[in-house]
Copies of this chain bind each other. A is one copy, B any other.
């Protein structure tokens, strides 16, 4: 049974929707695949639903191939399980919360770790039941602050989320690898370029985590990769620390007046003018910049912290968020400074060994952290905690110590990969998959234990694995179009072939009808543009927009038993005899 365009519930639009910025959003709306209902919330028209189902089918096949089993959870869940793991609070404003008529708290689930854990706890009790991998494909909810780019970041979105359950670390490694391998096959089948990058587990907890990033200039994530094979998102990038230097024999630190040097550049200029080095000019990298950040902890308390980073680096707030998670991070405000008159803005430093200003045993009590590059024995120009004064030759490990090492400095092309595989380059990517080793965090919080071989209760170790189904569809659309319209890869296209009756003559329509019937009989899923009063030009334009990759045009040569085959992916057009169309389509 072919689908006739005259009957299909679709309308194409000539104009881009006003709120659309990226190609996939524009084209999926213009081609009648989706329609906006609210910010980041869409309805799915028949064409959109067909493509989405094909993507889901590929995901299901690859997961079931290694034994994962499908289940289905509600979107509406009670607060309690999320309270036990702390995520009811941790999710902040991104969680849709609501109350039922009895005033009980509920949420629209953004992910389902808690309830999968509880379900396994309900059903299983022995190591013999494990390993287990279960998954669902389900509509999820996150109240994004800035839903954007159509399906790329929605507030309602379809996700495949899997969870693995093992009772040994080796078991978790194997389950993790099985998912990782399946993800590679899924993205390969979908024709999606991807990089697997080390990721920070962030709010999800857990130990090991990798993201599948699709490299694209519209990606929201920045990641780094080295020629030697290292890849990580910038949040997870770890600086290769230099070796410590000997401290013995380094000159004593000395304080100089440094009028009008509140910035690194002014400080470098003044230093070169007034206190020139013998070996080379002062550079920004010789200075130690002390950045004051305000943390808001989960209990609502606010804490100032200071981080010393080399003066040639800027703060990367995303890295800072990871460094101080689950606290929220922002730059300190004037009000914060007002509460700490000891902090002399523009001239802050860690102080001297005999009078430390920052750090554990310091006068201010403010915690002080250092960038990993500030190893013992390195010598710095930094603030002297007095207006328009800096100290020169302040040596880490001799004159100052920190409360810890954190990575909040930006990552740059040319930085060395931590595994020694050489300098990294930076690229933009869109997250299309994520694999986590959660470990025992959720099982511990929710009491999921099984009896092991010796009859001893052991806590289960878990993995969590996600693929954004609707986002993937947008990424495919983003990658597969030519500006005039979509060009779907064959295995997710809404139809195998789009047959156009192009002309007014009866022979054109009769030929097209017969061709459509014979293609359907041969097993092709056909979209038939049978609209009687629509011009060939409009039909071609719609075909380009809709994006079925193979188009057959039944036109003026119909009477001679010939039609035109148009491969949208290659752009090739060729004349084909009517009885060769099926074979010609298969050969594309």
At the interface, yes or no: A399 with Cβ under 8 Å from chain B? no
Q: A69 within 8 Å of B by Cβ?
A: yes
Residues of B within 8 A of A124 (CB): 11
Q: Which of A255-270 contact B (CB under 8 A)?
A: none
Bound-state Cα–Cα, A42 to B76, Å: 10
In the complex, A72 has a CB within 8 A of chain B: yes
Q: For the complex formed, measure the closest distance between the CB of A564 and the CB atoms of chain B, giving whole angstroms.
A: 28
Q: Is the pair A78, B119 in contact by a Cβ cutoff of 8 Å?
A: no
Q: Judging by beta carbons under 8 Å apart, are A93 and B98 in contact?
A: no
User: Across the interface, do B115 and A43 meet the contact criterion of CB distance under 8 Å?
Assistant: yes
Q: How far apart sit A505 and B321, CA to CA, in the bound complex (Å)?
A: 61
B37 touches A77 (CB 8 A): yes
Cross-interface CB contact of A98 among B44, B71, B96, B115, cutoff 8 Å: B96
Closest to A92 in B: B101
Whether A337 is near chain B, meaning CB under 8 Å from some CB there, is no
In chain A, positions 1-46 with a C-beta closer than 8 Å to chain B are: 7-11, 32, 35, 37-38, 41-46
**In the assembly, how many copies of this chain are there?**
2
- Evaluate contact between B37 and A75: CB separation under 8 angstroms: no
Residue of B with least CB distance to A50: B70
- The reply to whether B96 and A71 contact each other, CB–CB distance below 8 Å, is no
**A275 interfacial contact with B, CB 8 Å:** no
Contacts of A334 in B (CB 8 A): none
Shortest A541–chain B CB gap in Å is 18
A45 touches B71 (CB 8 A): yes
A44 to B75: give the CA distance in the assembly, Å. 12
What distance in Å separates the Cβ of A584 from its nearest Cβ neighbour in chain B?
A: 29
Q: In the complex the two chains form, what is the Cα distance from A108 to B101 in whole Å?
A: 13
A159 to chain B, nearest CB (A): 14
A101 CA to B199 CA, complexed, in Å: 28
A122: Cβ under 8 A from any B Cβ? yes
Distance to closest chain B CB from A76 (angstroms) = 5
Least CB distance from A134 to B in Å reads 6
Of A137-145, A379-387, A459-467, A514-522, the one contacting chain B is A137-145
Q: Which residue of B lies closest to A41 (CB)?
A: B74
B143 A74 Cβ-Cβ under 8 A: no
The answer for the CA separation of A445 and B234 in the assembled complex, in Å, is 52
Residues A9 and B74 in contact in the complex (CB < 8 Å), given A43-B115, A101-B93: no
A100 contacts which chain B residues (CB < 8 A)? Answer: 96, 143, 155
Compute how far the CA of A72 lies from the CA of B74 in the bound complex, rounded to whole angstroms.
Answer: 17
Given A42-B74, A71-B43, decide whether A123 and B10 contact each other with a Cβ distance below 8 A.
yes
- When the two chains form their complex, are residues A108 and B76 in contact, meaning their CB atoms are under 8 A apart? yes
- CB pair A101–B44 under 8 Å, yes or no, is no
A495 to chain B, nearest CB (A): 14
**Chain B: CB-nearest residue to A132:** B9
Contact of A156 with B74 at beta-carbon distance under 8 Å, contacts A38-B106, A119-B35 already known:
yes
Chain B CB within 8 A of A67 CB:
yes
- Closest B residue to A158 using CB positions: B72
Contact A139 B67 (CB under 8 A): no
Q: What is the distance, in angstroms, from A133's C-beta to the closest C-beta of chain B? A: 9
Q: How far is the CA of A119 from the CA of B96 in the complex (A)?
A: 25
Q: Is the CB of B115 within 8 A of A69?
A: no
10 contacts between A and B (CB under 8 A): A9-B132, A10-B123, A35-B122, A38-B78, A41-B78, A42-B74, A46-B70, A46-B71, A49-B71, A96-B98
A residues engaging B (CB < 8 A)?
Answer: 7-11, 32, 35, 37-38, 41-46, 48-49, 67, 69-78, 93-94, 96-98, 100-101, 106, 108, 115, 119, 122-124, 132, 134, 139, 141, 143, 145, 155-156
